[in-house]
Structure 1
Amino acid sequence: MREHEAREKKPNIVFLIADDHRFDGIGAYGNQVVQTPVLDSLAAEGVRFTSIYTMGGQTAALCVPSRACLLTGTNVFHAMVTEKEVKLGETENPQLWAINPSLPTWPEVYRREGYRTFGIGKWHNGKESFAKSFSDGASIFFGGMGEHIGLPIHAYDPAGIYHADQAKPSDKFSTELFAESAIDFIQQYKEEEPFALYVAFTAPHDPRTPPQAYLDRYSNEHIPLPDNFMPEHPFDNGELYVRDEQLASFPRKPEEIRQHLAEYYSMITHMDEQIGRIMQALEESGQREQTIVVYTADHGIALGQHGLMGKQNVYEHSIHIPLIMQGPGLPQGVEARGLGCQMDIFPTLFELTGTLLPQTVEGKSMVGMISGEATGSRKNVFSAYKNVQRMVSDGRWKLIRYFRSGEAGTNRAQLFDLYNDPGETCDLAEDPAKLEQLQRMEQELLAWQQSIKDPILHEMRKKG
């Protein structure tokens, strides 16, 4: 009987999500500078997805909409607000900061299905959705960013209220605090039902202040500049002076960008080691073979590429994210090359765990992609940033459309061949030989905008 129960028990889930970790910031993704042995090992023992994208959002704090898409499995314009609630003239509509209450999150559904759901770390999508999602938790940070020591941390509140004055400043570095809370949970877990452990790091988001021992591993003079480094962006993209862009001087200086990259890699290496401690706890507890481990990020970041510093754009460095899955039901050492997006993670997990998918989910399971089936991949992926940028890519051809009017504004397109120009430095939009590709991608983008009721179309119709 016990053997039968063990075979029938659903796998545990350890879901690890980083903040600002772009797809090429891991050794397994080809970065020869950053030191990420734990994540490299996870990729070698599991599945590394090469082409997963975030869908952007209507706010400069892109972690909010991207996490909402990931948690609800829906598109960016549905995951948080309705069309009527979006006012394009507002830079930070308060309604853009909470998950659409009509949509269940994947931890919430697992909780209903009998999983013990445990939330740790950053939650930037409203206290109500956290309370619905998790039956327990520890070291909870409600917010977007802060100093890595001294973050206002909440204990789990069964009532789900989380009064601000009950938060206590942390005395440990955030990455270590969250990892240790995860380790404590794993070591103490003795229950029969499976668990879903959600650990959201605030690294490698700025302020990038890693422990000195990790910063000492990276020498500025040995940090190469990205191939698409530029002193400044070649035109007004509609968001050149948001907070993130002011974290380095104008124009960008090579030595300053190298310093930013050294700090960024140091934060990632520190986080990688803490993830290793979580994996060790799983191993020692005897839970590793029964646990699906997921590693991903909310979005990427520029750090000197295209003359930009932040993630408020739709270039590859900002919307292309890592995704690694390892555990029961997953093959080892597989590279899944098809196109996917964040909202596809929800249905993929549910198929892997044999859990009934809610009808609200728009995402597409990528299990077929893992096994090499063409049906597992998307034809196109799309992304949006506020009312100024839209993107469509079929994996090779990528169109970025800028919607910015006025004397100082921009209304233009960029077309890139990602096979031959992965750094997006050669704009082909004005090349007559590429007119067919340009028009095809424009049609694909418009069809998507119409299908998801992109509010920018309504704004454009009003303006005539």
Structure 2
Amino acid sequence: MVDDLRPELNCFGKTQIVSPNIDALAKDGVIFSNAYCNVPVCGASRASILTGLYPTKKRFTNYGSRVDKDAPKITTLPEHFKNNGYLTLAIGKIFHHPDDALQSWSKTPYRPDYPNSIKQQELWRDYQSLENSWTKKEKLPLGAAGPAWEAADVPDSVYYDGKTTKLALEALEKLSKSEQPFFLGIGFIRPHLPFNSPRKYWDLYNEDEITLAKNPHMPFNSPKFAWFNYRELRGYTNIAKDTLPIKAEQAKKLRHGYYASVSFIDAQIGRVIKKLKKLNLYENTTIVVLGDHGWSLGEHSLWCKHSCFNNALRTPLIVKTPKSQKGIKTESLISFVDIYPTLCELNNIEKPLHIDGKSFEETLINPNIEINDYVFSRWGRGETIKSHKFSYTQYFDREGNLKSHMLYNHEIDHEENINIADRTENREQLEELSKALNRHLLSRE
């Protein structure tokens, strides 16, 4: 699981990011071009994925969401595998909280910041350059941060995710000697802010050649509910705290840092795959690579996640299994609550009754098979339904009254630049999507 990962990789048809290892894995598996998270913030998204439950207005709502609190009686995905004879381990960030749903794992989850205290976890921001050493010395408020990027001239192993990889390789060595099948969750922090990674990954890019968002403005006729001031980014010391747009030179630097961070993580994934091959585990292991949600890089003047736009909701999903076809791409609509039942079916494990999603096992063999007419996501007071052609969002006030909405035709406006919700020619389609969305919401009251 990779934090804040956009589908801006070569295997998804993009060209700016250097990602040879993920691209090579994609050639052995299936690329899901229309995979959507159910809530665009890490804590809630991970809780939803790992329980197979949709978020609601009361469940899995923010970055601090916990399965223990919101769904304490639900059997999690790794717990279900453990109950069916698997050795289950978590290294790095799988659940947002390292001590959430501890019954899921055969051994206590561990991260490079072990023993997982809140104070220790604040070091995940991982400043390693001498100029930023003050971030570890000064007593900062919880959640405060240093600069939004760093490029220290250090080996991979110095940074947090390099340490995660080392732990993962050691775990694989031990797992390869066990007669038990295993479920191993490996969670990488980058490209989450701050964009801190070794200098060599920054050097893969010429900043002068990095292009900015083509649509650095809110969509035409977009509702005011759709805009936010990306507080997460503004929490960093070199980013202005006001409501002004990010300056072009900073936007380029941020994009540069995001790209470098993705390349850093790509290298870590490459090391894991290389180890699987060396241990003769690769061919018989199901590998799932996914982001926990998407990310905005200046599109619609927005940064970070926390929105109902496509950039925040759509994220990479690549699945390689012994059964799947190789190197194919599917346009089938996939919801992240579908991952839990799929992994059950792939491993001949009975699915728990509580799961909201559907298995896409057949899509791994035939990419034309559709399992969903719609997928659903939500953020704050916005509820989104996505079909192949349209994305429709309704915004509600605190009393539950519908206040505004937005509709985008992804066939002709994939970047979501023109809100067409109030055009008369879309009335029939709007009613259809609204009814389907309301059915979904009522079923989860």
Counterpart check, 1:220 vs 2:207: yes
The amino acid that maps onto 1:19 is D
Counterpart check, 1:361 vs 2:333: no
Counterpart check, 1:298 vs 2:292: yes
| Residue 118 (structure 1) aligns with | 89
Alignment partner of 1:49: what SS?
strand
Tell me the distance in 2 between the aligned counterparts of 1:235 and 1:78: 20
Deviation string 1:11-59 (CA, Å, 9 cap, x unpaired) is: xxxxxx0000022x211111101000011011111111111111117xx
Tell me the distance in 2 between the aligned counterparts of 1:264 and 1:443: 39
Counterpart check, 1:268 vs 2:262: yes
Residues 438, 425 of structure 1: alpha-carbon distance in 2 compared, 3 angstrom cutoff: same
Contact 1:79 1:100 survives alignment (8 Å): no
Contact 1:399 1:413 survives alignment (8 Å): yes
Counterpart check, 1:401 vs 2:394: yes
1:132: how far off? Answer: 0.7
Residue number among 414, 429, 436 corresponding to 1:437 in the alignment: 429
Residue number among 161, 171, 191 corresponding to 1:185 in the alignment: 171
Q: With structure 2 as the length reference, what TM-score do the two structures score?
A: 0.83
Mapping of residues 152-231 of structure 1, within 5 Å: 172-189=158-175, 190-230=177-217
Residues 79, 291 of structure 1: alpha-carbon distance in 2 compared, 3 angstrom cutoff: farther
1:436: how far off? Answer: 1.6
Residues 127, 79 of structure 1: alpha-carbon distance in 2 compared, 3 angstrom cutoff: farther
Mapping of residues 283-294 of structure 1, within 5 Å: 283-294=277-288
Counterpart check, 1:329 vs 2:323: yes
| Residue 229 (structure 2) aligns with | 241
The amino acid that maps onto 1:244 is E
Tell me the distance in 2 between the aligned counterparts of 1:357 and 1:410: 36
The amino acid that maps onto 1:56 is V
Residues 125, 217 of structure 1: alpha-carbon distance in 2 compared, 3 angstrom cutoff: closer
Tell me the distance in 2 between the aligned counterparts of 1:346 and 1:299: 16
Moved more, 189-198 or 98-107: 98-107
1:370: how far off? Answer: 2.3
1:339: how far off? Answer: 0.6
- Consecutive unaligned residues of structure 2, counting only runs of 5 or more, are 129-155
Residues 113, 410 of structure 1: alpha-carbon distance in 2 compared, 3 angstrom cutoff: closer
Contact 2:43 2:97 survives alignment (8 Å): no
- Consecutive unaligned residues of structure 1, counting only runs of 5 or more, are 1-16, 152-169, 454-464
| Residue 22 (structure 1) aligns with | 6
Counterpart check, 1:149 vs 2:126: yes
| Residue 346 (structure 1) aligns with | 340
Contact 2:215 2:299 survives alignment (8 Å): yes
Alignment partner of 1:76: what SS?
coil
**Alignment RMSD (CA, Å):** 2.9
The percentage of aligned residue pairs carrying the same residue is 25
Alignment partner of 1:291: what SS?
coil
| Residue 104 (structure 1) aligns with | 75
1:439: how far off? Answer: 2.0
Deviation string 1:339-377 (CA, Å, 9 cap, x unpaired) is: 111110011111111111111212100112223376642
What count of residue pairs does the alignment treat as equivalent? 403
Residues 75, 126 of structure 1: alpha-carbon distance in 2 compared, 3 angstrom cutoff: same
Q: With structure 1 as the length reference, what TM-score do the two structures score?
A: 0.80
1:227: how far off? Answer: 2.5
Tell me the distance in 1 between the aligned counterparts of 2:217 and 2:57: 35
Tell me the distance in 2 between the aligned counterparts of 1:323 and 1:243: 27
1:216: how far off? Answer: 1.8
The amino acid that maps onto 2:353 is Q
Deviation string 1:286-337 (CA, Å, 9 cap, x unpaired) is: 1111111110011011120111112110111101011101131111112122
Contact 1:18 1:296 survives alignment (8 Å): yes
Tell me the distance in 2 between the aligned counterparts of 1:95 and 1:179: 25
Moved more, 238-247 or 292-301: 238-247
| Residue 67 (structure 1) aligns with | 46
Contact 2:6 2:294 survives alignment (8 Å): yes
Counterpart check, 1:426 vs 2:418: yes
Residues 117, 78 of structure 1: alpha-carbon distance in 2 compared, 3 angstrom cutoff: farther
Residues 346, 442 of structure 1: alpha-carbon distance in 2 compared, 3 angstrom cutoff: same
Alignment partner of 1:221: what SS?
helix
Residues 396, 231 of structure 1: alpha-carbon distance in 2 compared, 3 angstrom cutoff: closer
Residue number among 18, 21, 24 corresponding to 1:38 in the alignment: 21
